[in-house]
Amino acid sequence: MLSLFEKWFAYNFEANKSWSKQLALFENDLTDYCIRSMSHIINVEHLWLSRILGKTVESGDWDILPLYHFERFHVDNHVLFEQISLQFSEDQLITYTNSEKMIRNKLLSDLLFHVLSHSNYHRAQIAKEFRLLDLPVIPTNYIEFC
């Protein structure tokens, strides 16, 4: 059981869903950067969670995903995290193959923290792009979620 990570991933899931809805709401006003960034968040979450579970990765880091499927992809990724939370402990060593085909060993807690910080970074980049486009930025601060 990964109780703290469960809380953080619940926040991450809600923040991603909120931004996906905001992207859909302003679809006609967006730059490609916004769609590419949210696609990257989804893809990288899928990549790392799949690696942890030893599953096949279904998309590349920077593949562009259709906006109308974002929410379903977020749900799919959250289901992968839930599987991890039931099968692993955060101090467990995970062996995986990275993008350069090198075998690595890392603590699950470090891998999960990497996923969360990566997603947060790119959501901030989307928020910055919204500001540049003079579009409304939604609040997704963790402290407001918990």
In this prediction, what percent of the chain has a pLDDT beyond 70?
99
Question: How many structural domains are present in the chain?
Answer: 1
What CATH code is carried by the domain that includes residue 53? 1.20.120.450
Q: What is the pLDDT of residues 7-36, one digit of tens each?
A: 999 999 999 999 999 999 999 999 999 999
Q: What is the pLDDT of residues 113-136, one digit of tens each?
A: 999 999 999 999 999 999 999 999
Give the number of C-alpha atoms closer than 13 A to the C-alpha of residue 71, restricted to the C-beta side: 9
Burial 63-73 (b: 16+ CB within 10 A, else e): eebebeebeeb
Please give the Cα distance from 7 to 17 (Å, whole number). 15
pLDDT of the residue at 99: 87
Query: What pLDDT band is residue 73 in, cutting at 50, 70 and 90?
Result: very high
Higher pLDDT, 125 or 4: 125
Segments forming the whole domain that contains residue 23:
3-145
Q: Are 116 and 9 in contact (CB under 8 A)?
A: yes
